[in-house]
Amino acid sequence: MTTPERSGPLAGLLVADFSRILAGPYASMLMADLGAEVVKVESPGGDDTRSWVPPVRTDATGATVGTYYLGINRNKRSIALDLKDPADVAVAQRLAARADVMLENFRPGGLAKFGLDYDSVAATNPGIVYASISGFGSSVEGARLPGYDLIVQAISGLMSLTGSPDGAPYRAGISVFDVMAGMHATIGALAALQKRHETGRGQHIEVNLMASALSGMVNQTSAYVAGGTVPHRMGNSHPSLFPYEPLPCRDKDLIVTAGNDGQFRKLVEVLGVPELADDERFARNEARNAHRDALRPLLVERLATRDADDWFTEIIAAGVPCGPINSVDDGVAFATSVGLEPVVEVGEGEAMVPSIRHPIRLSETPPDYVLPPPGLDQHGAEIRAWLEEDA
């Protein structure tokens, strides 16, 4: 294949990405940004997210594609393969035989009939790092459950923690466990590649959304397994810290946090009520939690005298974390204002697609953004010809 020169830390690695929707494509994009050559294998109908609209972006040909797809598929090449066609199955097997990493999120066991399961691929490619992503694992009981993020948010208990105490449970605003599982798959793949340097052999990595959920819920799952406490919905409040929530100012709410007693003292000094730090009801975090109903109106009374932006400037200057509740556009603008350069241009000319910068910065081998998200089977002929070489 004709490949742009890549300088990232994963340059030279070939990733065969048989996944679709979010968790797997997010994982392969993270690796692609870091220099890996990613071949995205799609069905003839394409990745479902191509048509998850609105919103859409129109390309140079006038075609529209879902921005969902665009957000997780840059730096890849696309080939469409019909696994009901024996000739296409053979192409898929040749790709797997050459790959360093293979990603898939079929129903557990679903690729075995095509000779694309781990055991079959490893028989001809013992160095393969093979990452399987599922909803609930590969046991008989887990494999029969559909792996949708929303279902995992419900079953894991996250939704029981999200929303007003007296209201309905809510999902998170993004598919948070898909993203976590994608990151976990990436971590697992990199760990297995490191081990391969010693042994020359790859291994099978299994990641599932349910396990990612229970791990990612951190203090809430620990509250139950280590403390015997079942957490419950608290709206925007924190079960272990106060203040740590939105508080109303004169014009709008401001997130105000005090992660320790020192920060609380600085906060009340800025607010002009330093005596609260010496009040035995509020002097220590445990006491503030116990008396939050008494403390909250005292803080709100002071905050209500000025606008949120004014308080933000002063409270931050005092070394106390706080922040406005932004819309997404304001969030991107804020990241720009603090020098994070959140938006990158992927590709050139009319093919260029704006995208969000890779979250990791490396001083010597930074991520790059050379290929815009591919059209369906855009590189199919090129990839097939390359796989025919030395076949």
Strands (E), the chain: 14-18, 37-42, 56-58, 64-66, 76-80, 101-104, 129-134, 203-208, 244-248, 253-257, 322-324, 343-346, 353-356
Query: Which tokens sit at 176?
Result: 């948070």
How crowded is the C-beta side of 207, counted as CA atoms within 13 Å? 29
State residue 6's pLDDT score. 84
State residue 61's pLDDT score. 72
List C-alpha distances in Å: 97 to 7, 31, 93, 143, 164: 24, 19, 6, 26, 51
178, 261, 278, 377: which one is catalytic? 178
Residue 170 · residue 234 · CB < 8 Å: no
Please say if 178 is a catalytic residue.
yes
Amino acid at the residue 272: G
Question: Whole-angstrom Cα distance, residue 161 to residue 159?
Answer: 5
Query: Which tokens sit at 237?
Result: 């409040």
Residues of the chain with pLDDT under 50: none
